Structure 1
Amino acid sequence: MPAPVEQQFQYSVQVRGRLTEPEEFADIIVRAQADGSFIRIKDVARVELGAKDYNFSCRYNGKPAAAFSINLTPDGSAIETSKLIRERLTELAHSFPPDIEYAIVHDNTVFVKASLESVAHTFFEALLLVLVVVFLFLQSLRATIIPMLAVPVSLVGTFAVFVLLGFTINTLTMFAMVLAIGIVVDDAIVVVEAVEHHMAQGLPPRDATLKAMNEVSGPVVAIALILAAVFVPVAFLGGMAGVMYKQFAVTVAVSTMLSAFVALSLTPALCVMVLRPKKKHGGRKGFFGAFNRGFEALTGGYGWG
């Protein structure tokens, strides 16, 4: 309910939206007595679950039909339930009389699946774009592999946290994952570029990695904490906004912190194993040479401007 204009405080109250057991309905209060006692439904009636109306008729495409609906329990999975129902109906159809067929008139999971598929499609598009951009600037397949391995590790770790926090895979959390792709790759890129810089000065991969980690560990942790500080407060907003965006904010914050952990643990190990010293042979030619010259001209013009 919206709060009046003069109301100073507003609280979010989470209540059970749907009762499921007869005992829960039986505890509903129907009257408060003058002495402070309550009269509940179980005091004046017998409570049992049943149909609202047992007398009804149904026709489907102009023909007589028997219709029934299946409602999801509050803790059930709509997609999994729909899948199991369809499988069961397919099995039962083999024992139907020849003149009887079944039809699913309405299924809400069609819209749920379409929404999740759209977000998943966007997720893979974002991952592909990140791969292209990282390769374009690092200009090394070995160096590109390392950040791209850090992305799925961080995101899988985020899904593991979902289980601990009781979160679900929904539109908001999936969009948070899409946003997090561009964030979690940053820490790994910082580490890889620092290692390549020291390797270009003649250090072997192991020594270059150790020196790079001494330089960038602090900034990587600071960046992760700053980004988390931006999103975590959103989870504590009041009203409906806080309830709706809690999972979104926590998802981004968790993936950011995990990316920092991966950048300080997995990424250095991959740098030692994967990166190799580059041979000194002047500037790059071809596409990358033209790209580097154009990028240097752009940054130079920006600096002089």
Structure 2
Amino acid sequence: MVHFISYQFLVAIMALSITAMPIFEDPCKDVICPKGQRCMAPIDMPECFPDPDGFPDPDPFPGIHDPCSGFICPAGKHCLALDDMPRCYLIIPTLGGPETFPTHDPCLTIDCPKGTTCIAPTGLPFCFHSWPPEEDSTPFPFPMKRRESVPENVGPCPPDAVCPQGHGCIEVNGVPNCIDPKRALAHLEPIGIDLCRLMLCGPDEFCQMVGRTAKCAKLPSLFPGGTVTPTPDLNPRSGSTCAVITCADGYSCEEPEGLGGRPVCAPTDPISDIITIPDNACEMITCADGYCKVVDGGPECVSWGLEVLPDEVEGFVDE
């Protein structure tokens, strides 16, 4: 009998220890919010907040418990439950891997009211209350506005940062970003890194910067009669220079600042020695506010204004 009681006592103790183990549960599991709102629990206290436009459903598979449901990470990080425990990770997509995790910090360009902070749990920024709340904090709901300008600290990523094929990695204010160097970066101005470092052009091509865009260009079309002298030092990532270009008779290789330093075969005749800007220089430029216009120094973004007439804009069609 003594042994039987001891066994029952041991089973009870084991049951109590198992019950006392911390088990992560979604605080929003049993919370029903009004229409247009969603439950979130950044500090394990479930609350209903406005549902931003385009906010994806955190539970695409009803009935399957997601440990990251209701788990809020700081901007630029994402929740992963690698061992069924939610943790915040900085995600960099791998070569050929999924591109579902944005690496650009969307809160870099958001100003939130006093007493709130910007978070982006699914890549979409919105203003969330700080904790504890400040005395003169903005009452609910929280408006947010986009910043006029953002000081950018842009540089190369660490060597172990890997991006999907066709993308390169740069760091913006310490946050790795996988970007397509062939597209204009309206949110990075001025950009402090040569995007041609991220490009890999073909053997008969070289990289040139057009505005804030990197572009692979074929040598024969840009260098009339020019040929490339093969050298072991030619690095397609860094682009060609006059050191590896042989121009046709009557032309000499130059690297004018007005064209971003890219080499061109210019006429050696002083009378006709004029470097021209390509007519299609604006085709790869996306202006955040205004339109692209080719001026003496190259393509530039010009703001819309009352002094601008429609016929001054290239390609403008008056309906």
Higher normalized helix content (fraction of residues) = 1
Higher normalized strand content (fraction of residues) = 2
TM-score (norm 2): 0.20
Question: Which structure exhibits the higher relative contact order, with contacts defined as CA atoms closer than 8 Å and separated by 6 or more residues?
Answer: 1
TM-score (norm 1): 0.21
